[in-house]
Amino acid sequence: MARPRRIVLLRHGESEGNNDDSVYERVPDHALALTERGQQQARDAGKRLREQLGDEGVSVYVSPYRRTHQTLTALGLDSSLMRVREEPRLREQDWGNWQDRQDVRDQKAYRDAYGHFFYRFAQGESGADVYDRVGAFLESLWRSFENPDHPPNVLLVTHGLTMRLFCMRWLHWSVAEFESLSNPDNGEARSLLLERDGRYHLDRPFEKWRTPRPYGPRV
């Protein structure tokens, strides 16, 4: 099995929705484009990635959203070193279709109180749903490592919540640990690095927005 030395998870650059949430009332989430700032964030991320990867090959999986594809293009990686696959299981958490801005703001507030993992958007998914499809993707990813010619690097161009849930699944975090963590900034990456002990370790932690609150019986 040719396990990669590095698995990089990259959040897309700033999108129109990150900049102005009223756009969700007019444009489908999957069709939102990067802002100019988001394009620059992606170019900056690409510079950092090229320094990391050098001339090594990389297997790329990209969410099917417009902003993730634009981020991948703006990275400026050498196409001759990449094997690119669009991966729908790495998409953003579904919130429904065209969305009322105030309704989404209200639901996000409810989610903070209810729990990011369990709260289900009225017409969309819960974090638990995203966790399940990320788990299904991981099974496919592990099978790809059976190829002796698998590149030494993997790059996932995806979304903040999906990044956190991928790490939760890979590193066996509890729900309480996951819910204490913040999304990375737009254009920000985290890497799982293969160490001498044969395990993957996160290169740096996610920031925390609260202290983990373990689940269990009330006393």
Residues labelled as active-site residues? 12, 92
DSSP 44: H
Contact by Cβ (8 Å): 91, 65: yes
Contact by Cβ (8 Å): 67, 13: yes
Contact by Cβ (8 Å): 129, 89: no
If 0-12 CB within 10 Å is exposed, 13-18 middle and 19+ buried, where does residue 11 land?
A: buried
CB atoms within 10 A of CB 73: 15
